Structure formats: structure tokens, C-alpha cells
């Protein structure tokens, strides 16, 4: 429960910082990037707090899903790979986010050319 509460508070603070970015004098697109980096760092955090064993078990299962031809596939691997198939829209959003942050030079506004380039590079 404490993990969900902590990440929920981080998400809420990030949303409020995005909405009030002009008042805070912070580029608006820095907040979603900071939240994503925080969540990734939390997942790979080696410190034994906030369910350390569960996080590293998940990383191990993710690795076995990626390297499935070289490992025995168990139920957890199959189940997580099936969940990944259901999360295609989320992976496309991550692709768009990476494309946006790598190709957009100004974090204060949205460049139409960047939006077209990022949306056009998706291969389904």
C-alpha cells in the first residue's frame, strides 16, 4: 500500500506542476519526463525498501520475456507477456514520448513538425 500511495502522490505532484508550470516558471514538459524517470529509477532501485524482492522478481520476469527463446518459459513469463500484448497502446505512448523528447528542442511549446514526425514513425 505504501508503494501505491507514494507513486500516487508523485503522479499528483507531477500533474499539478504541469498544470501550474507557468506560475512555477518551469517548462511544462519537464514534469512528465521527471515523473517517468522517477518511476524507472524506482523500478531499478537496488536499495532494499518498497518491496525490493517483488521489483527484482518483476525485472527478472521481464528479462525472461525478452529473452524467451533462450530460457524456459514458465507461467509467470507467459502471463506477463500476455499482459504486454494488452498494453500495446501504452508502449506506443512511450514510443511517442521518447520521440518527442529526443526531437523537440523547445520544452516550452509544441512544435507541429515534431508531432508529425513522431506520429508518422510508428510501425504496427
**2 Cβ contact list (under 8 Å, min separation 6):** 50
Assess if residue 4 is contained within a domain.
Answer: yes
Domain hosting 67: range is 1-103
Tally of domains in the chain: 1
Q: Give the chain's mean pLDDT.
A: 85
| Structural contact between residues 119 and 103, judged by C-beta atoms closer than 8 angstroms | no
- State percent of the chain over pLDDT 90: 40
Residue at 22 is within a domain: yes
86 domain residue, yes or no: yes
CA–CA separation, 53 and 62 (whole Å): 14
Residue 120 in domain:
no
73-94 mean pLDDT = 92
The answer to whether position 68 is within a domain reads yes
> Does the residue 115 lie in any domain?
no
Contact 28, 18 (CB under 8 A): yes
Q: Give the model confidence (pLDDT) of 11-67 as tens digits.
A: 999 999 999 988 988 888 888 899 999 999 988 888 888 788 999 999 999 999 999
Residue 122 predicted with pLDDT over 70: no
Burial 63-97 (b: 16+ CB within 10 A, else e): ebbeeeeeeeeeeebeeebeeeeeeeeeeeeeeee
Residue 118 lies in a domain: no
Q: Which one is predicted more confidently, 10 or 113?
A: 10
Task: Please indicate, yes or no, if residue 113 is contained in any of the structural domains.
Answer: no
Amino acid at each position: 500500500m505504501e508503494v501505491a500511495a507514494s507513486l500516487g502522490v508523485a503522479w499528483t505532484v507531477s500533474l499539478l506542476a504541469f498544470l501550474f508550470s507557468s506560475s512555477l516558471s518551469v517548462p511544462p514538459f519537464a514534469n512528465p519526463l521527471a515523473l517517468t524517470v522517477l518511476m524507472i529509477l524506482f523500478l531499478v532501485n537496488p536499495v532494499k525498501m518498497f518491496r525490493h524482492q517483488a521489483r527484482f522478481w518483476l525485472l527478472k520476469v521481464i528479462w525472461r520475456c525478452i529473452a524467451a527463446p533462450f530460457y524456459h518459459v514458465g507461467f509467470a513469463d507467459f502471463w506477463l507477456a500476455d499482459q504486454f500484448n494488452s498494453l500495446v497502446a501504452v508502449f506506443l505512448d512511450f514510443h511517442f514520448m521518447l520521440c518527442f523528447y529526443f526531437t523537440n528542442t523547445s520544452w516550452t511549446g509544441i512544435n507541429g513538425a515534431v508531432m508529425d514526425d513522431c506520429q508518422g514513425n510508428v510501425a504496427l
